[in-house]
Amino acid sequence: MTVLDWMQLILISLLIGGGAPVVGHYLAWVFTGPRIAPERWIHRLIGVDPDKPMDWREYAGALLFSNALFFAAGYSLLWAQGRLPVNPRHIAAMSPEVTFNTAASFVTNTNWQAYVGEAQLSNFSQMVPITFLMFVGANTGMAALVAILRGFARSGTAHVGNYWDDFFRFFVRAFLPACFAMALLLVWQGVPQTLSTTVVAHSLEGGSQTLILGPVASLEAVKNLGTNGGGFYNANGAHPYENPTPLTNTLELLGMLTFTASLPFLFGRLTGRSRQGWALFATIMILYALGLGAVEISEKGPNPLLAPAGIAQTTSPLQDGGNTEGKETRLGITQTSFFSNTTMAATTGAVDAAMDSMNPLALMVYFSHMWLNEEPGGKGVGFAGLLKEAILAIFIAGLMVGRTPEFLGKKLEAREIKLAALSLIVTPFTVLLLTSVGVTASFGTSSMDNPGPHGFEEVLYAYSSGNANNGSAMAGLNASTPFYADSIGIEMLLSRYLPLLPLLAMAGALARKRIHPVTAGTLPTDTPLFVALLVGFMLLVGLLTFFPGLMLGPILEQLSLMKGLSF
C-alpha cells in the first residue's frame, strides 16, 4: 500500500470510529425523548394514535400493512409512468415483471435494478415513487429494530412500542435532515439537482452529445444514508454525475455507515449496557476490517494472466499497480476497495466500479458480506440479525459448559432459540434453491453470457444480492427477463419479511421475561472473549452453509486464473 492509501485508511477509520458513538447517542434521544410538533402533525394527518402500545403481533401487522400500501403506491406510479408529468421524453412504463421487481426491490430496501434508470425512468419516477420507496424502506427497518431492542430492554411487559411513532421519529429527526444536508454537500461537489431532463454538450471538435439530468443529488443522499443502493444512472456510483470526486466517494461511503455503524451504541443506551454496545461494535468492525483487507490485497495484487504477457506492475510511494479494470481512475483502487467493501458490509448495493471486473478473492468477500448480512448490515434489520447471531452463539456456548444461556440478564429458552434459528435459515434456503434453478433450467441459463465458474457466480451473486437487501449486480446476466425479474422480486419480499417476523416474535417473548441478576455462572457478553466467540460462530456457520457455492464460484475461478485459464 502507498502513503496515500494509508492516509485514507487512517482518516476514514477515525471518522467511522469517532462518529458512530455520537450518532448512536443521538438516535437514543430520538426514540426516547418527547415527541416534537412535526411528528404530532403527521400523526393527526394520517389518523393514528402514537400513544397506543403494541405487542409484537400488532407491531408486525402495522409494519406489513404499511409496506403493502407502500408497495401498491410505488407499483401504481411506475405502471402509470407514461401518463404522468415531468416526462418530456415520453418514456413508457416498464414491462409488468420489471415494474413488479422494482416496486418489490425498493420497498424492501434492496434497490436491485432490473432496468436502466436514465433510459427507462422519467424524472417524476426517479423523484417520486423511487425516492419515496427509498425513504419508507429504510424507515421500516429502523422501526423494526427499535421494537426488537425494546424486547431486550424491557421486563414483564408484552408491549414493544408503537410502529407509527417509531417510524416517524426516525424520519423527522434523523433521516430527512441528514439527507437534506448530504444532498447540499453533493450539489456543492457538482452532482446535478434539477428538474431539467436533458442538456446538449458541444465538444471542441464540433460534435454534440445529449446528457441526461435530473434530481440526482437528492436521490444519492437517501440512497447512501438509507443503505438503499440503486442509482439514478445505470453505472451507479461510477457515473461522474452521481459521484464526481474522491471527496463525494468518501462522503457517500461514510453515509452508508452513518446510521448503521451507530446502532450498537443505540443498543447500549436503550438497554443500559454501554459495554455491550462496544463489544457488538467491535464485532462489526472486525468483520468489516477483514473484508477490507482482503479486497485491498486482492485488487492491488498482480493478475496471474498478465505475467506471461510480460506486463509489469510497478509501484512507487504514491502510486501502485493492480487490477484497474472496471475502476474509475479518478478514484483509484483503495477508494474503490473502501467503497465496495462498505457497500457490501452495509448491504447498500451502491457501487463505484464494475463488480464483474473484481478479482475472485474480492468477490468471495462480497459473497461473505451478503450471506452474513449483519456487519453492520442494512438499515436496522442488519443489526437485528447480529443480535440473532449473538443469541445462537450464546446458546452454543451454553451447551458446551452445561448452563442455561443468558443474555442481558434474560434466560434464553427454547422459544427464543427456535425463532432465531428460523430467521437464520431463510438466507440459505432462498439463495441456494433459486440459484440451483437458475443454473440448471433453460429459462435461467439462457440469460447467462459467461460460462464456467464466472457464469455461476453471476447467478449466485444475483440471488445473494436479492436476499441480502443489497441490490448490486455483476454484469453478464440478463436479469430483466420474466424468470429473473419475478423470481428475484419474490425472493426480495420473502427475504425481507420472513426473517423479520420471527425476530419481532422473539422480541415479544423477551420483553415478557424478568431480568435476573448476574451470577458466577453467567457468561460475560461484553468481553473480548465473547467478541471472538461471536465472530468465530458467524464465520463458521457461514462457511459450513455456503462453502460449496464458494468452491464452485470464486475459489474455482481463482485456481483457474493461477493455471492461466480465463472465462
Cell triple for 34: 418527547
Whole-angstrom CA distances from 363 to 345, 368, 382, 540, 555 are 13, 9, 20, 19, 10
Count CB-CB contacts under 10 A for residue 379. Answer: 30
Contact 383, 390 (CB under 8 A): no
Which pTM does this prediction carry? Answer: 0.94
pLDDT category at 318 given cuts 50, 70, 90 is: very low
Q: What is the CA radius of gyration of the chain?
A: 23
pLDDT category at 16 given cuts 50, 70, 90 is: very high
Amino acid at 253: L
Predicted confidence (pLDDT) at residue 185 exceeds the cutoff of 70? yes
Between 1 and 182, residue with greater pLDDT: 182
CA separation for the pair 144, 137 (Å, rounded): 11
Predicted confidence (pLDDT) at residue 20 exceeds the cutoff of 50? yes
pLDDT category at 4 given cuts 50, 70, 90 is: confident
- The alpha carbon dihedral of 270, 276, 281, 284 has a sign of negative
Q: What are phi and psi of 475, to 5 degrees?
A: -75, 170
Residues 326/489/465/479 CA torsion (nearest 10 deg)? -30
Residue 308: per-residue pLDDT:
63
Instruction: Note the helical H segments in 162-271.
Output: 163-170, 176-188, 216-225, 246-258, 263-271
CA separation for the pair 2, 454 (Å, rounded): 31
Amino acid at 335: Q
Residue 307: per-residue pLDDT:
62
Residue 437: per-residue pLDDT:
96
Between 268 and 516, residue with greater pLDDT: 268
Give 81's contacts (C-beta < 8 A, 6+ positions apart).
Answer: 87, 91, 92, 93, 94, 121, 122, 124, 125
Which of 16-20, 89-93, 395-399 shows the lowest mean pLDDT across its residues?
395-399
Give 145's contacts (C-beta < 8 A, 6+ positions apart).
Answer: 263, 380, 381, 383, 384
Give 33's contacts (C-beta < 8 A, 6+ positions apart).
Answer: none
Residue 273: per-residue pLDDT:
93
Segment 145-171, tens digit of pLDDT: 999 999 999 999 999 999 999 999 999
| Average pLDDT over all residues of the chain | 91
Which of 277-286, 304-313, 476-485 shows the lowest mean pLDDT across its residues?
304-313
Instruction: Note the helical H segments in 308-451.
Output: 332-345, 360-372, 381-401, 414-424, 426-438, 442-445
Between 117 and 321, residue with greater pLDDT: 117
Judging by DSSP bridges, how do beta strands 54-55 and 159-161 pair with one another?
antiparallel
Helix (H/G/I), strand (E/B), else coil: 407: strand
Between 354 and 317, residue with greater pLDDT: 354
Helix (H/G/I), strand (E/B), else coil: 82: helix
CA separation for the pair 40, 168 (Å, rounded): 9
Residue 292: per-residue pLDDT:
93
Judging by DSSP bridges, how do beta strands 410-411 and 406-407 pair with one another?
antiparallel
